[in-house]
Amino acid sequence: MNNEESRIVDKNKTVISFVTTEKAYLLAEKYNYIVIKTYRSVNKKQIKEFIEKSYNVKVVKVNTLIDRDGYKKAYVKLAPEYRALDIMERTSR
């Protein structure tokens, strides 16, 4: 784990960490996305359920890709009434 990731505790092994790069903050600010690092075995439905239950928000959609390290990166778009930056700030503390 590098300094660009905010580690979170997930007992169900869904999410490894939030990505806190400059690009991730730009996506959060401009398009209301949060970027998370997950295990490859986790699907979009599991990611959506985890985020909705853990942070009491509504997820509009989830896009995923496999990064070079072999992990899955998920781009999670939140409903307009919720702010992605607020969630990122809560997890970085």
pLDDT score recorded for residue 89? 85
In a domain, 91, yes or no: no
Q: How far is CA 82 from CA 9, 34, 54, 70, 72, in A?
A: 22, 11, 14, 30, 24
In a domain, 40, yes or no: yes
Total domains present in the chain: 1
Q: CATH code at 49? A: 3.30.70.330
pLDDT score recorded for residue 93? 62
In a domain, 35, yes or no: yes
pLDDT score recorded for residue 88? 87
In a domain, 39, yes or no: yes
**pLDDT tens across the length of the chain (93 residues):** 444 544 544 556 777 889 989 999 999 999 999 999 999 999 999 999 999 999 999 999 999 999 998 999 999 999 999 999 999 888 776
In a domain, 15, yes or no: yes
In a domain, 93, yes or no: no
Question: Which range marks the domain in which residue 40 is found?
Answer: 5-84
Q: Where are the beta strands (DSSP E) in 2-78?
A: 5-7, 15-19, 33-38, 59-66, 72-78
